[in-house]
Structure 1
Amino acid sequence: MSDAGSPGTTAGTGRIAAFFDLDKTVIATSSTLAFSKPFRHGGLINRRGVLKSAYAQFVFVASGADADQVERMRAHLTSLCAGWDVAQVRAIVEETLHDIVHPLVYAEAADLVAAHKADGHDVVVVSASGAEIVAPIASMIGATHSVGTEMVAVDGRYTGEIAFYCYGPNKAAAVRELAERNGYDLSRSHAYSDSSTDLPMLEAVGRPSVVNPDRALRKVAVEREWPVLAFTKPVPPRPRSATPVVAIGLGAMAATGAAWYGLQRRRKR
């Protein structure tokens, strides 16, 4: 777990927090897959790895990811990163963060984060992506804390093993741990997610909301009368003099992924 910013306070019997899933809740795609091109430029993956990541990103955006898909994606990415230099990964993420991620942030999510902070709430990003990716993104959007998947590293390099997988019930466990540590009143706290795999986290708070929900989560939200939010607008580009922004469109990523998929189909034939 990592902190980003200073904690807020509330006037009630306990502090209030707002817990946000990251992928397809705060940003429009997978935060991990979004860095495939910078990782290639840094020599961490090859061109084939970029194409596979682009196609996986296209599928993720178009149809979401159920538990089996997320598990396959996790296995692929953890095996891929075995041997990577941790310091190099952190440097690449920091250097390309605003170019890669800022254009993908939902304006509605940014406004909601700002509203919670204005109300004195802590904002916590809880994601299955690696902590080295989650923490800088959380800091960029003004979150107070972040929790991500913790990879095992030996002598400064990832082994491919996972110390803590921030997914499913583990997200709820992380939320409860933070609540105990920081004095959050979970019955008065909020949580936001797009995926039914995050149901344990949503159920851990008294004020859950769903964002662009998958079919299973939408059904639960309707049955339980949870708010259903639709996030569609990207954050407006920042002036280059303030923060350089080079938008990488999802259409281009999808086209690249489709090309890889077509190549695979032709090979099978």
Structure 2
Amino acid sequence: MSAAAFIDLDRTLLSGASGPVITAALRAAKLVPQSIPGESLLYRIFNTVGETLPSMLLARQGATAMKGKSQRVVRDAARTAIPELAALVQPFAKQLIEKHRAAGDKLVLATTTPHDFIEEFARSLGFDDVIGTRFAVDAGGLYTGDLDGRFVWSGGKLAAVSEWCTTHNVDIKIASAYSDSVYDSPLLEAVGYPHAVNPDARLQVLAAARRWPILNLDVSPGVVKVPVIGTELQKLALTFARPELI
């Protein structure tokens, strides 16, 4: 059996949420309304503290919002977002990707983000596959408003990854997983090599208790950041070492 690395998207591979970039691309193609109540606030909260139940409730509405839209047109619009998404990739994420590539691991982006929104971006970074939420499509290529399979989040993400492993002859017990969210703890518990990346407060505690590696892909390996605050320890020390503060 071969090994694989499952990497989350928002606040893990990327420095923040992919949603604003993808939504802007969809708006430019006139596929979604110009404004959604509470949208910007939810994204700000997400970028600050990570996933919340309200943000996931909004994500669940994605299939309904796309009902009647052309899958081809949506994929074309998502393709225009690739440059902006690439700019959000964490500075040291590519080193992580290359490490697994050199080890011969299969690279899989495992995300709640809809598959059609993110597949080509993942391919552009060298991922072998994408596990994402899929929207059902009718015979005419239009979204039906339903999901095609499960909502890839929390336990649903673990189930999707487990199915992928079975199909691709990968042993999940020797696989690696990377995520920022405590809601991905089912997946992190299941793999042989879990990693917390820029973890939210609850995952920070869980990772410490489980002795999982904690990574921050926005700083060089070995640089320590203050938990939750997200500030490099060295910078914090230099701030308080200023003569005028002593």
TM-score > 0.5 by shorter chain: yes
Q: Quick one: distance in 1 between partners of 2:172 and 2:157?
A: 14
Provide the residue aligned with 2:126 in structure 1.
142
**Alignment-mate amino acid for residue 123 of structure 2:** S
Q: Quick one: distance in 2 between partners of 1:178 and 1:35?
A: 25
Q: Helix, strand or coil for the counterpart of 1:197?
A: helix
Consecutive unaligned residues in structure 2, runs of 5 or more:
220-246
1:15 aligns with 2:2: yes
Mapping 1:84-123, distance limit 5 Å: 84-98=69-83, 100-123=84-107
Equivalent pair of 1:32/1:130 in contact (CA under 8 Å): no
Consecutive unaligned residues in structure 1, runs of 5 or more:
1-13, 234-269
Equivalent pair of 1:211/1:231 in contact (CA under 8 Å): yes
Provide the residue aligned with 2:182 in structure 1.
196
Equivalent pair of 2:92/2:217 in contact (CA under 8 Å): yes
The root-mean-square deviation of aligned C-alpha atoms, in Å, is 1.8
1:44 aligns with 2:16: no
After TM superposition, give the deviation of residue 90 of structure 1 in Å.
0.4
After TM superposition, give the deviation of residue 147 of structure 1 in Å.
0.7
After TM superposition, give the deviation of residue 52 of structure 1 in Å.
4.9
1:31 aligns with 2:15: no
**Alignment-mate amino acid for residue 172 of structure 1:** L
Taking a change above 3 Å as real, the CA distance of residues 182 and 76 of structure 1, as seen in their structure-2 partners, is closer
Equivalenced residue count is: 217
Mapping 1:209-248, distance limit 5 Å: 209-232=195-218
State the TM-score, normalizing by the size of structure 2: 0.82
Equivalent pair of 1:151/1:160 in contact (CA under 8 Å): yes
**Alignment-mate amino acid for residue 46 of structure 1:** P
Question: Could you list the per-position Cα deviations for residues 146-172 of structure 1 after superposition, in whole angstroms to 9, with x for gaps in the alignment?
Answer: 111011122322222112211111211
Equivalent pair of 2:25/2:80 in contact (CA under 8 Å): no
After TM superposition, give the deviation of residue 95 of structure 1 in Å.
2.8
Q: Quick one: distance in 1 between partners of 2:71 and 2:41?
A: 25
Q: Helix, strand or coil for the counterpart of 2:81?
A: helix
Provide the residue aligned with 2:165 in structure 1.
179
Q: Quick one: distance in 2 between partners of 1:159 and 1:58?
A: 30
Provide the residue aligned with 1:253 in structure 2.
none
Q: Quick one: distance in 2 between partners of 1:32 and 1:25?
A: 14
Equivalent pair of 1:134/1:147 in contact (CA under 8 Å): no
Q: Quick one: distance in 2 between partners of 1:36 and 1:85?
A: 16
Q: Quick one: distance in 2 between partners of 1:73 and 1:30?
A: 13
Q: Quick one: distance in 1 between partners of 2:192 and 2:208?
A: 16
After TM superposition, give the deviation of residue 208 of structure 1 in Å.
0.4
**Alignment-mate amino acid for residue 86 of structure 1:** Q
Q: Helix, strand or coil for the counterpart of 1:143?
A: coil
Q: Helix, strand or coil for the counterpart of 2:98?
A: helix
